[in-house]
Amino acid sequence: MKILLTGATGYIAKRLLPSLLAGGHEVICCVRDRQRFDVSRFNSERISVIEVNFLVTESLAAIPDDIDAAYYLIHSMSASTGSFDEMERTSAINFRERMSRTHVRQVIYLSGIVNTGKLSRHLASRKTVEDELSTGSYHLTTLRAGIILGAGSASFEIIRDLVEKLPVMIAPRWLHTKSQPIAARNVIEFLSGVLMKENCFDKSFDIGGPDILTYREMLLRFAAVRHLKRKIIVVPVMTPRLSSYWLYFVTSTSYKLAMNLVDSMKVEVICRENNLHRELGINLLNFDEAVRSAFERIEHHEVTSSWTDALSGPGLERGVSHLVTVPVHGCFRDIRKSKFADRDIVIDRLWSIGGRTGWYYANWLWGLRGFVDKLSGGVGLRRGRKNDREISPGDALDFWRVLYADREDGRLLLYAEMKLPGEAWLEFRIINDTLIQTATFRPLGLKGRLYWYSVMLFHEFVFRGMINRLTS
């Protein structure tokens, strides 16, 4: 079959794609920026990529008419605290109207569990999207999930941060809220399993694992799996704002996502009974099994997607393509060169930079800069990287975003997502037997210029040490 996959750079879509290819399907991937999608990693001729922004109706003309099924996996919660619900509704309407002019027979939508009368803004938005999609000329199948547990998922990484960093937690009262988490592996099995199943047409199904747990129980179970002793003290005084700040400063999540998550965590998300997993032959993983499965992927460097893939920095709203050409005029530059003996060693070091590896020199200063960024409302260093060995355009790398990464070309280009009075790039380029390291800063007004002069001394120390370690 010919399948349209929206949100192809997102967490779930990246994990679903290999399953669809394994099923022999031809997959058309919708992305806002072609540069962020590395087709080569899937090693398949049955993938095509089109640039589509579902908020811009003109771009939808790129979608072919001869598609058999489509997955609607677009989500805006992490991108905005303001109008994400209206953006999602508009995207759904535009998608529905474009699908009405194609041959699509089934649309599959991954939503959130909406079984209570009082919904969070996030869950209400998910329900609105479902309502909009349901009026299309195709058969809609909706799968509703709560917390998704998998390596790189926002929920998993937040739980991991809390458990691994805090021996004692003073936590807000929403930790007593019940939820029914599901393993990411099971979500993919459901999404691929309902494809063209006529008994699933025009129906919605809640999907969850076998365990119903409070968030407190999840944290303690996670700690037990990791062989850690943790104590949790729940207090009734934390407001939603304080809870959001608590998540933001302790974990790697952005403040925008923390706000929306806290809003949702006050609502119980428990599945209505159904037999879909039995009909599809899916073995549901319990909470402990889901956690162990996630860590197996991490240990084997098999994390294919992460919540950090969502773009968050200023200047990134239009994707990464327009930033690949580093500006020259009106910029400050720090250029350093160093010769090396073995190109492969230098490349391996560059492709391992950041995350657990660190920045090769003065990591404590990098950590301090990340802490300052966190205090300023930025992303900080805690995002790390989803894979210790591989880098692709669009990946998050600590407080940087990868714009360009090509081993053969010998070039790695990063764009700063930290809070800055301007824009910053960090580029590594190999020419013959020389590594050229260039930091570029385009200041915004007087404040930007003062910032550059204030950090020049640190740059002299950090950048000189880094390039020497990379080439030694």
pLDDT digits (tens, 9 = 90+) for 400-418: 999 889 999 999 999 998 8
Please say if the pLDDT value at position 313 is more than 70. Answer: no
Distance CA 209, CA 111 (A): 16
Matching CATH number, 312-471, of 3.20.20.330, 3.30.1490.20, 3.30.530.20, 3.40.47.10: 3.30.530.20
Q: Which residue has the higher pLDDT, 242 or 137?
A: 137
Binned at pLDDT 50, 70 and 90, residue 227 comes out as very high
The reported pTM is 0.81
At residue 258, what is the residue type?
Answer: A
Residue labelled with tokens 């010998």: 410
Q: What is the mean pLDDT of the chain?
A: 87
Q: Given its phi and psi angles, is residue 267 left (phi above 0), alpha (psi -120 to 50 degrees) or beta?
A: beta
Residue range 322-353, pLDDT digits in tens:
678 898 888 999 999 999 999 999 999 999 99
Please give the share of the chain, as a percent, with pLDDT higher than 90. 54
Find the farthest-apart pair of alpha carbons in the chain and give their distance in angstroms, rounded: 67
Domain locations in the chain?
2-307, 312-471
Matching CATH number, 2-307, of 3.30.465.10, 1.10.1270.20, 3.40.50.720, 3.10.129.10: 3.40.50.720
Sign of CA dihedral 317, 323, 328, 333: positive
At residue 470, what is the residue type?
Answer: L
Please say if the pLDDT value at position 82 is more than 60. Answer: no
Cα–Cα–Cα angle for 466, 399, 187, rounded to 5 degrees: 125
Phi–psi pair at 431, nearest 5 degrees: -125, 110
Q: 228 CB contacts (<8 Å, ≥6 apart)? A: 163, 164
- 356, exposed or middle or buried, with CB in 10 Å at 0-12, 13-18, 19+? exposed
3-state helix, strand, coil in the chain (%, to 5): 40, 20, 40
Cα-based distances in Å from 85 to 40, 88, 92, 322, 361: 34, 5, 11, 27, 43
Q: 412 CB contacts (<8 Å, ≥6 apart)? A: 350, 351, 353, 391, 402, 404, 405, 427, 428, 429
User: Which two structure tokens, joined as six digits, stand for 20?
Assistant: 């669809």
Residue range 249-269, pLDDT digits in tens:
777 777 777 777 777 777 788
Which pLDDT value is given to residue 24? 93
Distance CA 338, CA 350 (A): 14
Q: 450 CB contacts (<8 Å, ≥6 apart)? A: none
Q: Given its phi and psi angles, is residue 171 left (phi above 0), alpha (psi -120 to 50 degrees) or beta?
A: beta
